Structure 1
Amino acid sequence: MIKRMLLMLIALALVFGGIFGWKYYTAMLMQQRMASMKPPPSTVTTYEAEATTWQPELHAVGSLQAVRGVSVSPEVAGRVIDIRFQSGRRVRKGELLVALNTSTEEAELDRLQAQKDLAETQLRRVRELRSKNQTSQAEVDQAAAEVETLSAQIARERTIIDKMNIRAPFSGVVGIRKVDLGQYVSPGTDLVNLQALQPLYVDFTLPQQNLRHIREGMPVELTVDTYPDRTFRGEITALDPRVAQSTRNFAVRATLENKEKRLRPGMFADVAVQLPEQREVVTLPKTAITSQPYGDSVFVVQEKKGPDGKPVKTVTKRFVRTGDRRGSQVAVSEGVSAGETVVTSGQLKLREGARIKVNNEVRPDSNPSPTPPNK
């Protein structure tokens, strides 16, 4: 009985051992097959690094200023009886903007004119009496002085009336009005802002070590956040003769045309002063650069023979040192040479040695001076 049970146990052990051994063997074969299989190549776009001649630039943050810009305000007090301008519209030099109530001043002008007429009549009489030697020269002088005094007072009153008609000091665009009909305004009250939008100044500062490079007439380029794809051009027209002791920077002013009236005073701008020297740089599209905490890198395309003897394209990762950026291009000073091909899109799918498939039907832009699509 015991012998039979032992034989049965041995037989069961052999059966289950065979089953488990087969399962293990097939699993090992499957694992080896999966390990030998390679992932399909990733589709990417590429770009061949090229050597380009760039002009060195000095960069700064500037502020746009109007060549002429003021807050229009009255010189005398009065009550507003007429507003002739519309907010945001262009006005001409000398155009009436705001009229104050001049009834009191005009009445005073009439009174003074009547007094002058009387004084002139009195002066004629005194001069006639003087010609007959019936009065003294002192009375003639006093009558003449009275006429001159009244003439001065009349001129003063007319000046006050003229100042109560507030006119545009130059041609430009008015802002949003800050005064209402019937409002009493005092001297210096801000009525409206007036700006001449063409041309414009851009004021910025540079470190003192750059003073020897800067000259009047040098070209500048600037961009603003409002129009990120647009570059505006001007030239340096003035240098401040002193260096600020607190910052050791000197002020620079450039002038630029603003024919389209897109730029406005008060905007901040990124300014680039183009120096006359030129240098050779290797450029890549910005999309080719992968920025990480430990540095910038690119995937460089390499071509080698596969197991079947056919050429296979793979990638290797390289760290690079970047420099200036212009438009959609970036200068690379180390890591990539002219003529090498780099990946410009699809990097997230790649790893060291990964196989790739190149499709450049649609690829990222690489232009140092891009223009808006509608231009």
Structure 2
Amino acid sequence: MSSRRSVVLVCALGLAVIGAYAWHANRAPQTAKPVAAGLAAPALPAQSGPVAVEVAQVRTVSLANDVSAVGTLVSNESVVLRPEVSGRILAIRFQDGQAVKRGAVLIEFDAAVQRAELQQARAGLSLAESNFTRSEDLFARKFVSQSGLDTARSQLEVARAAVALAQARYERMQIRAPFDGVLGIRNVSPGDFVKDGEALVNLEDIATLKVDFRLPELYLGRIRPGQALEVSSDVVAGETFTARVEAIDPLVDASGRAVLLRASLDNAARKLRPGVFARVRLILEERPSVLVVPEESLVPAPGGVQLVYQVADGKALRTEVRTGMRRGGVVEVVSGLEADALVVTAGQLKLRDGAPVSVVLPAAVAAGRPG
């Protein structure tokens, strides 16, 4: 028992000594290690020479204020041909998709009855003309009274009206093209009996197309008939068509707060078709002298500020600019630069205001080699 108590006492004394040492070590002041002689804090590498940059010249170009929209192509004239009377189709005088002229007979109905009525009316007219001629002769010789002559004249007018009526009924048995155009795909065949008003075939005038599109109401004060616009479509990729605004709807759509415009487009080559989706660029104003720089020359800064580095006397000068429209990879410069000035388009990340620069070719900039 005595030896066990001695071991416990020794362990307790050891723990106490270790705890005292640790408490003393933690309270000791921390001192910085001295910097060895001849050593210094690392420094950023110094600029070894001019910074290689690529530049572009500030250009003066003609630029247009415009607005873009989407629209739909519509036929200049479009109609679905329908008969005015019921009847049986005798003959079809066209091929599907054929171009026809105004007045061409397209469909003929069986008109035997109407033809007979017309012949009967013409015979009655011939008799009425003979009676009137005879009455005039007798009236001149005082053998017929004025009343008899008036009766003959009235019968003549009735006969003429009967011929006109029979002629109209006969002509209604033929479907003619109301304008020059291209026919669609017919829905009937010879021998079919069709009712009045039944759709037979569509006729489209596509030599000229209309472009219907909408713009927000805020453009009302800037649009007018006669303005030019450019039309493009995926149907003819890479090609642009010129059109003119023909009409502006006086009623603004209350639900969408948009105004409907219609333009006219020459389609003599028939590259476009009605119903096609179109992209529209309406030119609101042409500006002949606008300063522009490449988009890649702009360096955004905090607060929405746009900067460029202007090259003058071999140095890069940081210049704040105010920009306008963007079009085709260039940006309008409203203020901050003059025409023909040089701006940095590649290598801006390595520049600071007043840094010496060396203008190089694009390949040299990519490789980091000065010119």
Aligned to 1:370: none
Tell me how far 1:89 sits from its aligned partner.
1.6
Aligned to 1:230: 239
Deviation readout 1:192-250 (Å, 9 max, x if unpaired): 21112122111112112112222333221122232333322222233334433443322
Aligned to 1:316: none
Tell me how far 1:271 sits from its aligned partner.
0.8
Q: Which runs of 5+ in 2 are unaligned?
A: 1-53, 297-324, 334-342, 348-362, 365-371
Contact 2:291 2:332 in 1 (8 A): no
Contact 1:283 1:332 in 2 (8 A): no
| Equivalent residue runs for 1:1-375 within 5 Å | 54-131=63-140, 133-276=142-285, 339-341=344-346
% of aligned pairs identical?
Answer: 36
Aligned partner of 1:92: which letter? Answer: K
Deviates more, 1:115-124 or 1:145-154: 115-124
SS at match of 2:249: strand
Contact 1:177 1:191 in 2 (8 A): yes
Deviation readout 1:133-162 (Å, 9 max, x if unpaired): 454432332222112101111012112222
Shift in alpha-carbon separation, 1:104–1:248, aligned structure 2, 3 A = same
SS at match of 1:56: strand
Provide the C-alpha distance between the structure 1 equivalents of 2:294 and 2:208, rounded to a whole number of angstroms.
Answer: 35
Provide the C-alpha distance between the structure 2 equivalents of 1:213 and 1:161, rounded to a whole number of angstroms.
Answer: 54
Provide the C-alpha distance between the structure 1 equivalents of 2:251 and 2:236, rounded to a whole number of angstroms.
Answer: 33
Shift in alpha-carbon separation, 1:212–1:98, aligned structure 2, 3 A = same
Provide the C-alpha distance between the structure 2 equivalents of 1:330 and 1:180, rounded to a whole number of angstroms.
Answer: 60
Shift in alpha-carbon separation, 1:49–1:214, aligned structure 2, 3 A = farther
Provide the C-alpha distance between the structure 1 equivalents of 2:199 and 2:55, rounded to a whole number of angstroms.
Answer: 59
Shift in alpha-carbon separation, 1:50–1:197, aligned structure 2, 3 A = farther
Shift in alpha-carbon separation, 1:78–1:89, aligned structure 2, 3 A = same
Shift in alpha-carbon separation, 1:50–1:91, aligned structure 2, 3 A = farther
Contact 2:101 2:181 in 1 (8 A): yes
Provide the C-alpha distance between the structure 2 equivalents of 1:241 and 1:218, rounded to a whole number of angstroms.
Answer: 17
Shift in alpha-carbon separation, 1:50–1:90, aligned structure 2, 3 A = farther
Aligned to 1:3: none
Aligned to 1:308: none
**TM-score with structure 1 length normalisation?**
0.59
Two-structure CA RMSD over aligned residues (Å) = 3.6
Shift in alpha-carbon separation, 1:82–1:50, aligned structure 2, 3 A = farther
**TM-score with structure 2 length normalisation?**
0.60
Aligned residues: 260
Q: Which runs of 5+ in 1 are unaligned?
A: 1-46, 286-322, 343-357, 360-375
